Structure 1
Amino acid sequence: MLLIVASDPLRPRHPDAHFAPEARAAREAGVEVAVVDHDALTRGDVSRAVSRMTTEGVAVYRGWMLRSEQYAAFADALARRGVSLRTSGEQYRRAHELPGWYPDLAELTPRSAWTVGTERAEFDRARRALGGGAAVLRDFTKSMKHHWHEAAFIPDLDDGDAAWRVASRFLDLRGDDLVGGLVLRRFERFTTAEVRTWWVDGVCVLVGAHPDSPHDTPPEAFDAGPVSGAVAALGLPFVTVDLALRADGVWRIVELGDGQVSDRPSTIDPAALVDVLRRGS
């Protein structure tokens, strides 16, 4: 396996400080490490981004988030250099964007509806499809949960004008970073911090805290078994699944993401993540 990590913007031959611990752990385990210019990837200069790539083989990326089209271009550029990302462009999109994974996990996650575009009429269509009650707003890849009351939480979907004010603020804050359309998720009350689980080839290989609450360790009774069949059926090579315990005692999927761009909480040893990646196909 080749591990590709985002490079340091100021020292382009070195890993970004955020991913340096994983790069170091990989080298200590005998895994070759290469760097890629993330900034060049995001501005469309793909040839420059991969210009330091000299090794061929199967690779896993660990770096900052990329739009699905950016990742696909990245994968194509690597393929021309003899490097095959374990996660294809199509698989990345399915994991990275909610509409890609939601239909297969709908029974295990809050009910959702989303828009095509960002017009008020589309938003109202999705709002009515979800029905009344409280909801959480996001786009295809990200919420603004740190702006909870102004740009994330909608107390009552039946109040169209108030809901649209939240959506408008969300659109202002996301700006050009918006991905896809607006997603409305039925609000569910959780009683635990989120648990981040890591899956390789459909098997849960690592369980830990969520990066937002790295010291909130999962409960001893936590068991990913109830969601394992559905996650495995997705056929995705490397994903994370964030779960939280609902007030009625049921573990619910809050988010699924591509593992390559999912943050590792500080309380998970980087060597442990590298070890499970080495076992993948």
Structure 2
Amino acid sequence: MLLVPSDPLNPRRVDPHFAGQATAARDRGIPVARIDHDAIGDPERAVAGVPPAEDAVYRGWMMSAAEYDGFAQALAARDVLLRTSPAAYRAAHELPGWYDVVRELTPASTWTDGDDVPQLVTAAERLGTGPAVLRDYVKSMKHYWDEAAYIPELADREGVERVARRFRELREDSFTGGYVLRRFEDFVGAEARTWWVDGRCVLVTPHPDTPNDLPEGSSFPELALDLPFVTVDVVWRADGVLRVVEVGDGQVSDWPGTWDPAALVDCLFRDNR
């Protein structure tokens, strides 16, 4: 079964952002059920009406790991088994869960537990000197690059603190886990989004931010991703080395609007074709 959010303006319809995926699933005989994402804080209400299913995949808006845990429990009470467990979701969704798997293929990183700025300064010392990018376990504020993401020099304690305070202010209640410092690397060109099912790369698409631009020579690294459904965003570094930018849970990774959503549905439910 494919689970998708309902349209907030018409709960009897699928959210338009995911309608193409829902249609593709139905065309292939895959049952589709709607959830109320706006009610995810009350998971029993959010999943009311979802029928039983032995293998359910969610494709929808992002949830925190805690919200996903409640979501999974509420579905289990309705005899719905999510393919991705809460533990697997957290491992893919939060950087500390996936960093070690791609350590050699991604910028060097360190992180804190919580939003204590002095602890962040100590973490910066562990990473050394030079430029870095700040984020939390889930998200950066790249659209506020100069004020809340990019740190020109890790040794500049005041600069680190200033960017951290602004980042924390902008993230508000969405701040997740702790601060993460990632050593800055010079990437060139657009990112590609690779889609992995059961540890195997099954699709390479443009990144949704650049849906018309699939980098030439796009490829993917060999990774020991023991997770049911994830995405891995890759990009070329200026010296021609392929680098992993991000790993994410595939259920909440956006799909490029220029690509046929049926391709994703076919990969997710290939045993049903």
Q: TM-score, normalised by structure 1?
A: 0.94
Contact 1:15–1:23 (CA<8 Å) still a contact in 2? yes
Q: Residues 63-112 of structure 1: CA distance to partner in whole angstroms, max 9, x if unpaired? A: 00000011011111111111110000000000000000001211110000
Question: Which residue in 2 is equivalent to 1:108?
Answer: 105
Q: Which amino acid aligns with 1:264?
A: W
SS in 1 for 2:23: helix
Question: Which residue in 2 is equivalent to 1:236?
Answer: 227
Question: Given the superposition, is the C-alpha separation of residues 71 and 85 from structure 1 closer, same or farther in structure 2, using an over 3 Å criterion?
Answer: same
Shift of 1:218: 2.5
Question: Which residue in 1 is equivalent to 2:252?
Answer: 261
Unpaired stretches in structure 2, ≥5 consecutive residues? none
**Identity among equivalent pairs (%):** 58
SS in 2 for 1:133: coil
Looking at structure 1, the residues matched to 56 and 73 of structure 2 have their Cα atoms a distance apart, in angstroms, of 13
SS in 1 for 2:113: coil
Question: Which residue in 1 is equivalent to 2:219?
Answer: 223
Shift of 1:56: 2.3
Question: Which residue in 2 is equivalent to 1:174?
Answer: 171
Shift of 1:55: 3.4
Question: Which residue in 2 is equivalent to 1:23?
Answer: 22
Q: Residues 95-143 of structure 1: CA distance to partner in whole angstroms, max 9, x if unpaired? A: 0000000012111100001111111211111111111100011100000
Question: Which residue in 2 is equivalent to 1:207?
Answer: 204
Question: Which residue in 2 is equivalent to 1:12?
Answer: 11
SS in 2 for 1:39: helix
Looking at structure 1, the residues matched to 95 and 126 of structure 2 have their Cα atoms a distance apart, in angstroms, of 17
Question: Which residue in 1 is equivalent to 2:154?
Answer: 157
Looking at structure 1, the residues matched to 51 and 7 of structure 2 have their Cα atoms a distance apart, in angstroms, of 18
SS in 1 for 2:188: coil
SS in 1 for 2:248: strand
Shift of 1:175: 0.4
Looking at structure 1, the residues matched to 147 and 271 of structure 2 have their Cα atoms a distance apart, in angstroms, of 42
Q: Residues 225-256 of structure 1: CA distance to partner in whole angstroms, max 9, x if unpaired? A: xx22x2xx231010000001011111000000
Shift of 1:151: 0.6
Question: Which residue in 1 is equivalent to 2:50?
Answer: 53
Unpaired stretches in structure 1, ≥5 consecutive residues? none
Q: Residues 155-205 of structure 1: CA distance to partner in whole angstroms, max 9, x if unpaired? A: 001101012111111111000011110100000001121110101011111
Which residues of 2 match residues 35-54 of structure 1 at below 5 A? 35-41=34-40, 44-54=41-51
More strand, by proportion: 2
Looking at structure 1, the residues matched to 169 and 219 of structure 2 have their Cα atoms a distance apart, in angstroms, of 39
Question: Which residue in 1 is equivalent to 2:133?
Answer: 136
1:193 to 174, 184, 190: 190
Contact 2:117–2:164 (CA<8 Å) still a contact in 1? no
Q: TM-score, normalised by structure 2?
A: 0.97
Q: Which amino acid aligns with 1:136?
A: V
Looking at structure 2, the residues matched to 158 and 280 of structure 1 have their Cα atoms a distance apart, in angstroms, of 53
Question: Given the superposition, is the C-alpha separation of residues 280 and 115 from structure 1 closer, same or farther in structure 2, using an over 3 Å criterion?
Answer: farther
2:261 to 262, 267, 270: 270
1:119 to 96, 113, 116: 116
Shift of 1:280: 6.7
Question: Given the superposition, is the C-alpha separation of residues 186 and 280 from structure 1 closer, same or farther in structure 2, using an over 3 Å criterion?
Answer: farther
Q: Which amino acid aligns with 2:263?
A: A
RMSD: 1.2
Number of residue pairs aligned between Structure 1 and Structure 2:
272
SS in 2 for 1:35: strand
